Amino acid sequence: MITPSGNTSEENIPLFSSNEDLAAVCKRLRRDIVTMIAKAGSGHPGGSLSAVEIIATLYWRVLRHRPSDPLWPDRDRFIMSKGHAAPVLYAVLAERGYFPREELDTLRRLGSHLQGHADRNATHGVEMSSGSLGQGLSFAVGCALAARLDKASWRVYALLSDGECDEGQTWEAAMSAPKFRLDNLTAIVDNNGLQLSGFNKDIMPLYPLPQKWWAFGWEVLEIDGHDLDQVLAAIKTAQQIKGKPAVIIAHTVKGKGVSFMENNVDFHGKAPNAEQLEKALKELA
Amino acid sequence: MVEEIAPRDVYGQTLVALGKENPDVVVLDADLKPSTMTYHFEKEFPERFFEVGIAEQNMIGIACGLAASGKIPFASTFAVFAPGRCFDQIRVSVAQAKLNVKIVVTHAGLTVGEDGASHQALEDLSMVCSLPGFTVIVPADGIETAQVIRAVAAHVGPCYVRLCRPKLPVIYDNNYKFQIGKADELRPGVDAAVMACGVMVAPALEAAKQLAEENISCRVLNMSTLKPIDEAAVIKAARETGAIVTAEEHQEHGGLGSIVARITAENYPVPMDLVAVKDVFGQSGKPVELLEKYGLTSKEIVAAVRAVIKRKT
């Protein structure tokens, strides 16, 4: 029987949820993110920092998973479609015990388990190889179909960037999930408003984004993606929707938590230098 | 009269048989099920068949999610659309991820016929063979197709199987045993070797028969597995015959001929000729007319064999 538990010290607890103070966890994750990217000398801080509360809520409050048994068949699936934001996922997986924290220092190095973009064959706990945008929601649809065929109770959560809503495949997948009535699937769009070379509204306008998902047949929820209570409440609401999938449009700030990275397109894919790292860590103390 | 069977008909029937044997076999199609013949499976197992509409990228991605969750997905469309419409999905989501996805395409090559150049896949093998870890197979007839489909279902890893539209003459009997990665010697010979796949295997055999009348002893190999290619059989043929002709319904760039040429160049260079499409697109026409127009006939193979034998030192 799977029951929520705050106890993470005992072995064999299928539900690896935790009551640890999430705000403190999020600060720690942000420090890990900027530190590992600074050490690597390259990487994507902006879209990693914007997704911290979303992924932390999933891994600390929602997902049924076993860090000691990453391929446990009944685990909930978290699909990281925005594979460039791998550092936030690596920080979370390390914190939850999928691999030693020291490995975070090896990000992007030759032979490392922590590849520049998420790679399912390299890293324990990574479900999908991503990095080429727009592919994750299709993968999540496939997982959700498999769960239904097996009459399994595990659920699928897919994290998309807003930028990858430019990709046609995202909308192919968005069209198919309601067709298959996948109420075991929740998509979350990290709507930080920026992409590699500028604001979404200038590169390729996405709005009205909620209406687009609604028109494709999804239940749509809109939240502040940095408000932990809203994130959890939206996911719980999404779990209750029957007969169709739900999407959570999470309004976020790119580079959240580091003043000079916030809403700064320069930090989409650039590492902080030593001085910037020091400043960032002070802000995140 | 030689019996003729459409490999895609065999594909549809074999899927149904596999579906009965293994509940994990699932099938996806992108609005081509009456042509790819996957509709047989849908009829039998509607809950395990997923129609994704005209959306090949999504089809491949869904197949990946199913494979990562323990299913054995067969994803089908025309050869022009996979890999053509979804190469990056096949590259990253399938190949790099090493997922157990089976891509079985039909209507490859010029023999699509009247639909014309847009529908005549002549570069798909080049694209798929360039991906690490992919198994790539082009069956020569209906009998081999049934065994190939069973073999890729049993094999763990990404597979691409290329089928054609028309019926093909039956080459094999039921005693044939296909093995992934093994070339099959259909005819012994010492003066030259013809290596063919798919639609071109029957013309290769016809060419060898004609050449025998000129006292030219021509070995014929069915190279149905392009990847991993049977390197030993290629090197052996190069050593024992000293001249090689390849024949395929594909561009000369990156297909069977290119692969064989790489192996001989690295191991045992011999005079070679490639019977393939010479860097042009096709056009509308009857399959037989097109094969004639673009030089994919037994006549061309005969001429190529004579030419490579002349080049022997």
| Minimal C-alpha gap between B26 and chain A (Å) | 10
Is residue A121 a contact partner of residue A65, using CB atoms and an 8 Å limit?
A: no
* A136, closest residue in chain B (CA to CA): B61
The yes-or-no answer to whether B4-169 and B184-311 have a common fold is yes
Q: Check residues A20 and A274 and name the one with the higher pLDDT.
A: A274
> CA dihedral defined by A204, A206, A207, A211, rounded to 10 degrees?
150
Asked if A173's CB is within 8 angstroms of B61's CB, the reply is yes
Asked if A144's CB is within 8 angstroms of B71's CB, the reply is no
Which residues does chain B have within 8 Å of residue A169's beta carbon, measured at their own beta carbons? 55, 57-58, 61, 89
**Mean pLDDT to the nearest integer, A234-252:** 98
Q: How far is CA B256 from CA A273, B11, B109, B149, B294, in A?
A: 50, 23, 14, 20, 17
pLDDT in tens, chain B (313 residues): 789 999 999 999 999 999 999 999 999 999 999 999 999 999 999 999 999 999 999 999 999 999 999 999 999 999 999 999 999 999 999 999 999 999 999 999 999 999 999 999 999 999 999 999 999 999 999 999 999 999 999 999 999 999 999 999 999 999 999 999 999 999 999 999 999 999 999 999 999 999 999 999 999 999 999 999 999 999 999 999 999 999 999 999 999 999 999 999 999 999 999 999 999 999 999 999 999 999 999 999 999 999 999 999 8
Computed over every residue of chain A, the mean pLDDT equals 94
Q: How much is the pLDDT for A8?
A: 42
Q: Does a cis peptide bond (omega within 30 degrees of 0) precede residue A210? A: no
Would you put residue B284 in left (φ > 0), alpha (ψ -120 to 50) or beta?
beta
Q: How much is the pLDDT for A5?
A: 39
Q: What is the CA radius of gyration of chain A?
A: 18
Determine phi and psi for B218, rounding to 5 degrees: -115, 120
pTM here? 0.96
Asked if A141's CB is within 8 angstroms of B62's CB, the reply is yes
Alpha-helical regions (H) of B3-157 = 7-21, 33-36, 39-44, 56-68, 87-88, 124-129, 142-154
Of B4, B44, B51, B56, the catalytic one is: B56
- Yes or no: is domain A22-283 CATH 3.40.50.970? yes
Q: List pLDDT tens digits, range A56-88.
A: 999 999 999 999 999 999 999 999 999 999 999
Q: How much is the pLDDT for A6?
A: 40
CA B226 – CA B211 distance, rounded (Å): 26
Q: How much is the pLDDT for B41?
A: 98
3-state secondary structure of A195: strand
Select from A129, A145, A175 the Cβ nearest to the Cβ of B50.
A145
**Mean pLDDT to the nearest integer, A226-244:** 98
CATH code, B184-311:
3.40.50.920
Q: Indicate the pLDDT class of residue A11, thresholds 50, 70 and 90.
A: very low
* A73, closest residue in chain B (CA to CA): B69
DSSP letter, residue B108: B
CATH code, B4-169:
3.40.50.970
| Minimal C-alpha gap between A84 and chain B (Å) | 14
* A176, closest residue in chain B (CA to CA): B52
Q: ipTM value of the model?
A: 0.97
CB count in 10 Å sphere of residue B239: 12
Residue A170 pLDDT exceeds 60: yes
Residue A14 pLDDT exceeds 60: no
Q: Indicate the pLDDT class of residue A18, thresholds 50, 70 and 90.
A: confident
Q: How much is the pLDDT for A15?
A: 53
* B70, closest residue in chain A (CA to CA): A146
Asked if B61's CB is within 8 angstroms of A137's CB, the reply is yes
With an 8 Å Cβ cutoff, is A130 touching chain B?
yes
- Give the residue from B93, B98, B99, B156 with the most A CB atoms within 10 Å of its CB, the best one to mutate: B93
Buried b (16+ CB within 10 A) or exposed e, B149-160: bebbbebebbbb
Asked if A131's CB is within 8 angstroms of B97's CB, the reply is no
Domain boundaries along the sequence of chain A: 22-283
Q: How much is the pLDDT for A16?
A: 56
Which parts of chain B are beta strand (E)? 4-5, 25-29, 49-51, 72-78, 102-106, 135-137, 159-162, 168-169, 184-187, 192-196, 218-222, 225-227, 244-251, 272-277
Would you put residue B51 in left (φ > 0), alpha (ψ -120 to 50) or beta?
beta
Which residues does chain A have within 8 Å of residue B58's beta carbon, measured at their own beta carbons? 138, 141, 169, 172-173, 175-176
Q: What is the CA radius of gyration of chain B?
A: 19
In sign, the C-alpha dihedral spanning B32, B37, B43, B47 is negative
| Minimal C-alpha gap between A28 and chain B (Å) | 30
B56 noted as active-site residue? yes
Q: List pLDDT tens digits, range A178-200.
A: 999 999 999 999 999 999 999 99
**Mean pLDDT to the nearest integer, A90-94:** 98
Domain boundaries along the sequence of chain B: 4-169, 184-311
CA B141 – CA B222 distance, rounded (Å): 11
